[in-house]
Each structure stands twice: as structure tokens, then as C-alpha cells.
Amino acid sequence: MTRTLITGGAGFIGSHLAETLLGRGQHVTIIDDLSTGSLENIRHLMDHERFRFAIETIGNEMVLDRLVSECDVIYHLAAAVGVQLIIQNPVHTIETNVMGTEAVLKAALRYRAKVLVASTSEVYGKSEHVPYAESDDVTLGPTARNRWAYAASKMVDEFLALAYHREHELPVVVFRLFNTVGPRQTGQYGMVIPRFVQQALGRQPLTVYGDGSQTRCFCNVLDAVRAIAGLAETPRAVGQVFNIGSTEEVSILDVARRTLALVNDGEESGWREQISLVPYAQAYAEGFEDMLRRVPDISKIGGTIGWQPTIPLDETLRQVIAYYRSAAD
């Protein structure tokens, strides 16, 4: 029986991963300091006999050591995430992401636990050539711009994880999550879909940044956690980096239109009046650069574990709408 530890397990992705792994019969322990996660995300799991949780930071070495000593696989998801947070709290972001991963890898080495390290499509920086493949070169902006601190901190995490594998034969897998969406994601840190859904439900204008022609590919969180769990179960994945994301590319303006159509029960007319175009200069701090396109190449994970996303964006939007409707009740 696999004993699993999820750092950041009360977060949006971690809580879905916990649920999926419990469903597969595993013992799941999470550690989360609730900085961006919440007890609400895991409340429905608390009575499960194979579930345990520690409300603690991974900076607490003693607690981390004990939890790692009791597990076989660690999913390291604890991190400072979200573009807004990164711009507001650069010191916290860099320290949490780099020191947290270092602490997890060190503890894993003591007990030879397998570690799956969460990374992000942000590491591709502002490369213009899409789709992004794992072996591509990356282009980041200058260090004077906070925005790139997030990408750089996650790159250090990746380097460190791969170095533990090469130098100490620690079994590690790195996965780069592209835009991931679903119930329990909060719009509080800037993520576009929960923001649009909450705005639409609250009859507020949807804040589309720029002209909305920038595109993204949104992967349902259930598809994403299935990919993460699949990588953990595949010995061939060890020592490698994998993209996880959808390849269904949509413009942000289209996301706004589709959100409004679903919230308004298929009523398509008048959607433009329900959108407010916000110039980038107003939306983000000075010097912020938004990516025009971000598309993953998912052939590597497809070839390794046979994974493909299955849930289309409209279905994901319906799930997020249902989640926020029931949260309002």
C-alpha cells in the first residue's frame, strides 16, 4: 500500500490529488501552512480513514522529517504561486520556492522516498516559439523585474531535483503544470477563470486584460492530477521533466464570451457589453509582460504514460460555475 505525502495538499491542485490518490487506495498525508490553501478544500476528506493532515510549514524540519520518514512517495506542491503574489512578495516567493524544495529533497534523501516536484510553464519565460517542449531553451527577462523571480525560483527547484537524481540516485520526477483550472481554484491571486466566473455570477463586468487576443490552454485539474499520479507510478519517468497541460488553445476574450454564455443559460447576445477591456498598464505593475500564447507540447508524457487531457473547456467552465454557485448558497 503506497504511503503518500503531499506538500501543499490543502491547495487547489493538492486537494484534488489527495482525493484521487485516496480513490486509488493509498494512504495520504498532507502538510500545508494554509498560506494559499484552505481547510475548506480538504474538509470532505477529514473523516477518511486513510487521510491525515498537518497544518504546518515545510520549513519546520522536525515535522517534515517525521512525515517523510513515514512515506514512500512525496508530491511536492507547496510553493508561492500566482503572478500577483510574486509581484507583491518577491522575497517570500524566492525563499519559499527554493528553500522549501531543498528541505523536501534533503529529507527525501534520508529515507530514499520518491519525489515528484511541481514546476510551472512559467519556466519557458517569454519564448515565442510554441508549442513548448521540455528540451527547449528558455528566455527569461532581467532580474530587475520581479516577475521573472518566480520562473527562476522554479528553475532552481528543477535543477536541484535533477541534481539529487544524478548525484544521489534519488528517484525524482519534475512536472511543469500549464494553466490548470477547476473547482476550488480561487481568483484571489489573479487566475483568470475563477475571476471571470465570479464576476459573471455577480453581474459584474468581466475584466479582460489588453484586447483579450492573448491565448492560453486550460487543463481540467482532474486531468492534471491523473497525469501526476501516472508519472509517479511509472519507473521510466524518473529523472525526467514533463509538461502537463491542455492543447485546446483559446483566446481570453473567447473564455469571457463562453463563461457569459454558460452563466446566462446559452444567451449569447449582449456579451460584449458585459466585458470591460482593462489596459495592461492598469492591470499589472509597470514592466509586467504578459505572454501572448502558451501552448504545451504534450507528446513526451503521452509517449511515456499514454496520458492525454479528456475534459473540454466548456465542461470545466460548467464545473467552476457550479462550484461558485454552491459556494454562494
- Residue ranges binding ligand UDP (CB under 6 A): 83, 179, 190-192, 195, 207-209, 214, 216, 252, 290, 294
Distances (CA, A) of 154 to 16, 80, 117, 151, 158: 22, 10, 10, 5, 6
Q: How far apart are CA 80 and CA 66, in angstroms?
A: 23
Residue 60: Cβ within 10 Å count: 15
Write down the H helix ranges in the chain.
12-23, 61-69, 83-88, 90-111, 147-168, 192-201, 221-232, 252-263, 280-283, 299-305, 313-328
Q: How far apart are CA 207 and CA 216, in angstroms?
A: 16
Q: How far apart are CA 263 and CA 108, in angstroms?
A: 46
Nearer to ligand UDP, 171 or 190 (CB): 190
> In terms of Cα–Cα distance, which of 224, 220, 218 is closest to 242?
224
Q: Least CB distance from residue 154 to ligand UDP, whole Å?
A: 12
Note if 150 is an active site residue. Answer: yes
The string of DSSP codes covering 295-329 is: -B--HHHHHHH-------HHHHHHHHHHHHHHHH-
Nearest 10 degrees: Cα torsion 156, 161, 165, 171:
-170
> Which residue among the candidates 75, 124, 132, 150 is catalytic per the annotation?
150
Q: Least CB distance from residue 190 to ligand UDP, whole Å?
A: 4
- The cell numbers describing 145, all together, are 523585474
- Burial of residue 120 (number of CB atoms within 10 Å: 0-12, 13-18, 19+): buried
Grid look-up 459556494 returns 327
Q: Is the peptide bond before 142 cis (omega within 30 degrees of 0)?
A: no
Q: How far apart are CA 249 and CA 263, in angstroms?
A: 21
Specify the DSSP class assigned to residue 139. B
Active-site amino acid positions: 150
